[in-house]
Amino acid sequence: MNRRPKLTVCVSILLLTVFALSNINAQTPEPYKATLAIRLDQPRSVINRNIYGQFAEHLGRLIYDGTWVGENSPIPNTRGIRNDVIAALKELRVPVLRWPGGCFADEYHWRDGIGPRDKRPRRPNSSWGGVDTNAFGTHEFLDLCEIIGAEAYINGNVGSGTPQEMMEWIEYMTSDTDSDLANLRRRNGRDKPWKIPFFAVGNETWGCGGNMRPEFYADVYKQYATFIKNHSGNKIQKLASGGYDENYNWTEVLMAQAAKQMDGLSLHYYTLPTGKWDKKGSATQFGEQEWHATLARTLRMDQYIQKHSAIMDKYDPEKRVGLMVDEWGTWYDSEPGPDMGALYQQNTLRDAIVAGINLNIFHKHADRVRMTNIAQMTNVLQAMLLTDKDKLVLTPTYHVFRMYRVHQGATSIPVELSAPEYKLGDASVPSLSVSASRDAEGRVHVSVVNLDANRSAEITATLSGGAFKTVTGEVLTAPAVNAMNTFERPNTLKPEPFKNYKLAGSQISVNVPSKSVVVLELR
């Protein structure tokens, strides 16, 4: 059989695809012009560090392989936790880590995950498949938090648990008394109680957490929240399971009926390129249409936060209750090829742009948004880290979190932007997303995302209320919209020093490449 013609066709298709993906527009188009006013004279709310939170669910290869390898693994580890993962997370200054789910939270029974590891029960993970050995439990999770310097956010089980089980878990972790549960913790190797600042009553209780109506959940929430007790000086913020996307009625009912008993209400929003759960779109095989559509969809986060916040304002005008966007990020179809575990997806320059846009949105709403947790930390959805046996890759999303960490705890500064739209056919999105903040040392950081896949931006920025002497910066970009880091080529995308600026007192001109994320530091 002559296979040659077939091979020629395949090679041509491949070359065309590569060309299409790496040359959305082969000629370098004219840059577009934009103006930016950075209002240092109008400082706003502090950007809560916890906006940079992470999420680690017992799902796919996130915990097992991607975080926990066990003390006897040939992969270098600290008490069973991968050293490469620890080092990468420390570099991000992860402020808070959510665990054990997600949907898994409402099937998790904490007693399965304490005591000698060889005696722990093996249980089916009915949400995500496989069997959980429970080798990674409460002690291992809280050890990880201490090692990387993150606060613990534990998501309790409402769907299949009881208020008593929840109450006892909290006592086990946080009590310094002579109670049986505190002594059990000591016998299991931990003398000092842990601090648990955040505890949620169930997850997605409108779906995998119990398929409840908001009215029913509001009552359940109040019942469970009553038994979240503060022991030995620990002070828990109680979080209620919130709605999603445009599910405004959930927020309305929860705020009307239970705002007094909660410190935070969650919100989940995932970016799907197509918006369709049965065919979400590829993580890596896409062109400008999918690029544009994905960015248009991720920008909806702004309106969702605005509308959920407006409802919260009616019941809580002092903004005491935080809006916790404790699941967000891109969600694509599973990649063809070897199975890398449930919800494993590659991460490209497009994900870096999505991360930058969302973080800028969260900064803008820092008065109400107190925590967010990108889904998820390792090997699942829009991950920071990908692992394969002893190898580890830092994703483009990781690099954005590293570049943006300068905003953690800084004061948000309003920006006024005037720029043309980035149009594709009938669809149009803003071409730029910008946020700014001032830190305790007086340094100003400006994060600029150029959504335009083809055109660079010539931005003239004016700083009202400050003049600066020096600028430094970093840029993350690549020639192809779907550029990614792989185990074979882990450094295709990494931040580079940014030099395309001119500073003159309170005015700065910058030339921001197409499809890039830039963070500037002004001193």
Select the residue interacting with ligand AHR from 102, 243, 430, 473 (CB under 6 A): 102
Least distance from ligand AHR to the Cβ atom of residue 331, Å: 8
- Please say which residue, 72 or 277, places its beta carbon nearer to ligand AHR: 277
Q: Are 442 and 516 in contact (CB under 8 A)?
A: no
- As a whole number of angstroms, the distance between CA 9 and CA 103 comes to 45
Tell me which stretch binds ligand AHR (CB under 6 A): 87-95, 101-109, 177-185, 226-234. 101-109
Residue 53's beta-bridge partner residues? Answer: 373
Candidate list 40, 94, 97, 103; residue touching ligand AHR; CB under 6 A? 103
- Contact between 57 and ligand AHR by CB under 6 A: the answer reads yes
Q: Which of 58/438 has CB closer to ligand AHR?
A: 58
Output the smallest distance, CB 189 to ligand AHR, in A.
29
**Catalytic: 521?**
no
Rule CB under 6 A: is residue 193 a binding residue for ligand AHR?
no
Q: Which of 66, 101, 322, 430 binds ligand AHR (CB under 6 A)?
A: 101
Among residues 65, 140, 143, 204, the one that binds ligand AHR under rule CB under 6 A: 204
* Rounded distance between C-alpha atoms, residue 260 and residue 425, angstroms: 48
Q: What is the dihedral of CA 394, 395, 400, 405, to 10 degrees?
A: -40
The phi and psi torsions of 395 (rounded to 5 degrees) equal: -85, 165
Nearer to ligand AHR, 95 or 100 (CB): 100
Q: CA 298, 431, 482, 285: dihedral to nearest 10 degrees?
A: 60
Q: Does 66 bind ligand AHR (CB under 6 A)?
A: no
Query: Which among 62, 232, 183, 46 has a CA at the least distance from the CA of 132?
Result: 62
Say which of 107, 171, 204, 290 is annotated catalytic.
204
Could you tell me how many helices (H) and strands (E) the chain has, helices first?
A: 11, 27
Name the residue nearer to ligand AHR (CB basis): 271 or 454.
271
CA–CA separation, 229 and 100 (whole Å):
20
Based on the residue annotation, tell me whether 204 is a catalytic residue of this protein.
yes
Q: Which of 21, 375, 410, 457 binds ligand AHR (CB under 6 A)?
A: 375
**Stretch binding ligand AHR (CB under 6 A), from 99-107, 157-165, 231-239, 272-280:** 99-107
Q: Quick one: 377 or 471, whose CB is closer to ligand AHR?
A: 377
Whether residue 281 is preceded by a cis peptide bond, meaning omega within 30 degrees of 0, is: no
CA 81/CA 97 separation, integer angstroms = 15
Closest CB to ligand AHR among residues 198, 291: 198
203 binds ligand AHR (CB under 6 A): yes
Q: In whole angstroms, how close is the CB of 342 to ligand AHR at the nearest point?
A: 9
Q: Which two tokens stand for residue 99?
A: 């665990």
What would the 3-class secondary structure string for 97-156 be? EEECCCHHHHHCCHHHHCCCHHHCCCEECCCCCCEECCCCCHHHHHHHHHHHCCEEEEEE
Shortest spacing between CB 410 and ligand AHR, in angstroms: 28
Residue 375 or residue 483: which is nearer to ligand AHR going by CB?
A: 375
Residue number of the CB atom closest to ligand AHR: 102
Q: CA-to-CA distance for 409 and 442, rounded, in angstroms?
A: 12
Contact flag: residue 327 with ligand AHR (CB under 6 A): yes
Strand partners, 509: 460, 502
The least distance separating ligand AHR from the CB of residue 200, rounded to whole angstroms, comes to 11
CB 360 within 8 A of CB 447: yes
> Where along the sequence are the contacts to ligand AHR (CB under 6 A)?
57, 101-103, 203-204, 327, 375-376, 381
Instruction: Give catalytic residue positions.
Output: 204, 327
